[in-house]
Chain A
């Protein structure tokens, strides 16, 4: 029928063209035949018009070359099966089926008319960038994956069966060999001799030889991974411009394919190196060695593309970072941090998508190295150490620079610690209550002493002799000693406190000794007071020098009080009051909020502001 149909179509067309005859259009079913757009092994495809809608469709019929009635029936069944399969897939990347019909006992299939070029023609037309090729192949792969999801195997994935329409949309076409995955190997009902002859012919039943999987050649079980083989062979050809298997004649080709002798990828094309292992895995002889599914294959490609994009982003980030660091005289730390973080996170995303992306690993190292150099220049040791730990490979040159920075930093810090220790030891206010307590004790003891002696002298009940004074000083000595034991933390907090406390103890001891010696030698109390005054003055001078200049006020006042006590015992009460006032004044003056250094060992807290800058 189709032979006759084709003849009638040409005749009709030429009559119209040559003689302008308006003849009723040639129809198949309700479809008006237009041009013949292709003929494969077993079928012929016409462009046709669907009159009620005016839309252009593709009409597929069994080729006229099939004359044997049994075979014709077989191919017609297959045509119907193709229609059924397409109806069950329904995917934007798979050609759609509109209708099936029959005329004069001949089946036909009405398909979406994809007006464009096949992948084969498309890639031959001009040199295409690999990226563009991959986008097309990913779309085609989606279509195949959809067919697989519907439990179908295309079995004839070739560059001819992937069509790119004028808008760039991609469709997988020609499901003429479609096969349900549950069927057994030869379950397509073809007469055995047909399969036998078709295997040795081009454009034969079983597929297109250069793209046929080993299991198709050996008539093993056909499954979704068979399409993966065809897809990978097509992908190889699309990106490299040559076929993955070479062979003169079917036998050679079969040998090459079933032994897995994949041609080496020509290095001249711009195709990325990472693509090759993916394609080769898809071309594995053993289906089990291929990718687990079409989706897995596509995901592999997509992940790497994504990784690629992120690497590009990181490269841009690195350029921006370098410009920031070298361009401005004093780059803002925040901007550099941000740029560094962006570039590194792009690398991390790239590596998350594809962990073997060496470009991303190297780029990340570059970014980190640039940041590291920057931090080293700013002598920011801790940041530099953190960055060095991020490098994928040890960098001996930078490591030694970090080591040098660390050594110099430690030298400075130990000197600082020593200075701080000295400062602390010399600080009378290291223990803020200490000075207060010490002065308070002195003032208290003097005041009480003068008051007692003044009172006794005035009442005349008792004349104070050197022994009594010595005994009082002994009590002070005891008080001071007790204080040193009870408040030893304050007394021994640092060198200055320690010295003062001991000196106080020694001074009280001396006073006690002076007065007791005077009493023992029967000397008058005045002589002892003078000796004691000399000693006290020395002590206060020392205090004025070491601790607080105001201590210098104490000796003159004490001297006045002492003179008054000696010369006019009757007025010693007033003298005592004056002495007490001086003592209290001294206490009040020393009671002022002074800036304290933080307590604790001076060598602590290494990350002080001074050390970081």
Chain B
């Protein structure tokens, strides 16, 4: 049985890796356990970006994970690895849908892509505002904010998911916050007042739960 330390991040990480190796080796039971651990994250990841049925994308993400012979790089968790695959799948999905393989996600936002999963949602207050604003900034930037603030990924993990050097994560996060702030400014003057500086966003953002049941 696992002792108290077994629930620690490190042990979980190792266990994930073991489960993945076992699954790749043909152990469906191990696959099932791994799936149970990460299904929610990946489901949420797609569910926030697409209004339709996301089961295919989730399935492809897990299949790619198990079928790939890539070793998981040092220090990276299976979760980060899954996010990286999910991001690729998401981008490919948009490229196929728009029939444009050159789609630039540092420019296109969810709104630009015609996806607005929140549009029907009758949210109110700052949560709604934040969701709406996130859908209007470029997808790359939205991902940085989302993964960092609500999925709790470290800078290194975010760098892996987005496929960028770790050093640029910080500057990208800053840029994302600036754009988000500007967008929120156009949507509502009040909210901008509550979030006076980029630094205070940290606190504001963490106080909000734009995606209910976001973090376990």
- Chains A and B are bound partners: yes
Cα separation A371 to B32 with both chains bound (whole Å):
86
Q: B120 contacts A35, CB within 8 Å?
A: no
Which residues of chain A come closer than 8 Å to B118, judged between CB atoms?
65
Cα separation A10 to B52 with both chains bound (whole Å):
12
Any B CB within 8 A of the CB of A273:
no
Q: B51 contacts A11, CB within 8 Å?
A: no
Query: How many whole Å from B195's CB to the nearest CB in chain A?
Result: 23
Any B CB within 8 A of the CB of A39:
yes
Which residues of chain A come closer than 8 Å to B35, judged between CB atoms?
14-15, 18-19
Q: A19 contacts B31, CB within 8 Å?
A: yes
Which residues of chain B come closer than 8 Å to A42, judged between CB atoms?
120
Residue of B35, B47, B62, B120 most packed against chain A (CB within 10 A): B120
Which residues of chain B come closer than 8 Å to A35, judged between CB atoms?
53
- Count how many chain B residues have C-beta atoms less than 8 Å from C-beta atoms of the other chain: 24
Any B CB within 8 A of the CB of A71:
yes
Q: A203 contacts B39, CB within 8 Å?
A: no
Q: A14 contacts B122, CB within 8 Å?
A: no
Name the contact of B122 in the complex, choosing from A9, A13, A194, A202 (C-beta under 8 A): A194
Any B CB within 8 A of the CB of A7:
yes
Which residues of chain B come closer than 8 Å to A65, judged between CB atoms?
118, 120-122
Cα separation A63 to B51 with both chains bound (whole Å):
12
Residue of A14, A40, A203 most packed against chain B (CB within 10 A): A14
Any B CB within 8 A of the CB of A17:
yes
The interface bits of chain A over 154-190 (1 if a CB of B lies within 8 angstroms of the residue's CB, else 0) are: 0000000000000000000000000000000000000
- Count how many chain A residues have C-beta atoms less than 8 Å from C-beta atoms of the other chain: 31
Any A CB within 8 A of the CB of B63:
yes
Which residues of chain A come closer than 8 Å to B28, judged between CB atoms?
19-21
B30 — nearest CB in chain A belongs to which residue? Answer: A19
Which residues of chain A come closer than 8 Å to B197, judged between CB atoms?
none
Any A CB within 8 A of the CB of B178:
no
Q: A15 contacts B59, CB within 8 Å?
A: no
The interface bits of chain B over 112-123 (1 if a CB of A lies within 8 angstroms of the residue's CB, else 0) are: 000010111110
A6 — nearest CB in chain B belongs to which residue? Answer: B47
Name the contact of B43 in the complex, choosing from A11, A21, A36, A39 (C-beta under 8 A): A11
Any A CB within 8 A of the CB of B156:
no
A198 — nearest CB in chain B belongs to which residue? Answer: B122
The interface bits of chain B over 45-63 (1 if a CB of A lies within 8 angstroms of the residue's CB, else 0) are: 0010001111100110011
Cα separation A488 to B66 with both chains bound (whole Å):
134
Any B CB within 8 A of the CB of A55:
no
Q: B119 contacts A202, CB within 8 Å?
A: yes
Q: B122 contacts A18, CB within 8 Å?
A: no
Chain A contacts with B in 3-30, Cβ cutoff 8 A: 6-7, 9-11, 13-15, 17-21
Q: B43 contacts A10, CB within 8 Å?
A: yes
Query: How many whole Å from B53's CB to the nearest CB in chain A?
Result: 4
Q: B53 contacts A14, CB within 8 Å?
A: no
Q: B120 contacts A36, CB within 8 Å?
A: no
Any A CB within 8 A of the CB of B166:
no
Q: B52 contacts A39, CB within 8 Å?
A: yes
Cα separation A42 to B121 with both chains bound (whole Å):
8
Any B CB within 8 A of the CB of A197:
yes
Any B CB within 8 A of the CB of A594:
no
Cα separation A21 to B31 with both chains bound (whole Å):
11
Chain B contacts with A in 52-95, Cβ cutoff 8 A: 52-55, 58-59, 62-63
Q: B55 contacts A203, CB within 8 Å?
A: no
The interface bits of chain A over 417-458 (1 if a CB of B lies within 8 angstroms of the residue's CB, else 0) are: 000000000000000000000000000000000000000000
Q: B32 contacts A15, CB within 8 Å?
A: yes
Which residues of chain B come closer than 8 Å to A41, judged between CB atoms?
120
Q: B53 contacts A67, CB within 8 Å?
A: no
A20 — nearest CB in chain B belongs to which residue? Answer: B28
A17 — nearest CB in chain B belongs to which residue? Answer: B59
Any A CB within 8 A of the CB of B96:
no
Q: A11 contacts B39, CB within 8 Å?
A: yes
Cα separation A7 to B54 with both chains bound (whole Å):
10
Any A CB within 8 A of the CB of B40:
yes
Query: How many whole Å from B204's CB to the nearest CB in chain A?
Result: 21
Q: B55 contacts A13, CB within 8 Å?
A: yes
Query: How many whole Å from B161's CB to the nearest CB in chain A?
Result: 21
The interface bits of chain A over 66-81 (1 if a CB of B lies within 8 angstroms of the residue's CB, else 0) are: 1110010000000000
Cα separation A6 to B58 with both chains bound (whole Å):
13
Which residues of chain B come closer than 8 Å to A382, judged between CB atoms?
none
Cα separation A68 to B127 with both chains bound (whole Å):
14
A197 — nearest CB in chain B belongs to which residue? Answer: B122
Which residues of chain A come closer than 8 Å to B39, judged between CB atoms?
11, 14
Cα separation A35 to B52 with both chains bound (whole Å):
11
Any A CB within 8 A of the CB of B212:
yes
Which residues of chain A come closer than 8 Å to B55, judged between CB atoms?
9-10, 13-14, 36
Given A10-B53, A202-B116, 16 more A-B residue pairs with CB atoms under 8 Å apart are A7-B47, A10-B54, A14-B58, A18-B59, A19-B28, A20-B28, A21-B32, A39-B51, A40-B120, A41-B120, A65-B118, A65-B120, A65-B121, A65-B122, A66-B122, A203-B120
Complex A-B, nearest 6 residue pairs according to Cβ-Cβ distance, in ascending order? A65-B121, A36-B53, A10-B55, A41-B120, A19-B28, A19-B32
Interface residues of A (CB under 8 A from B): 6-7, 9-11, 13-15, 17-21, 35-36, 39-42, 63, 65-68, 71, 194, 197-198, 201-203
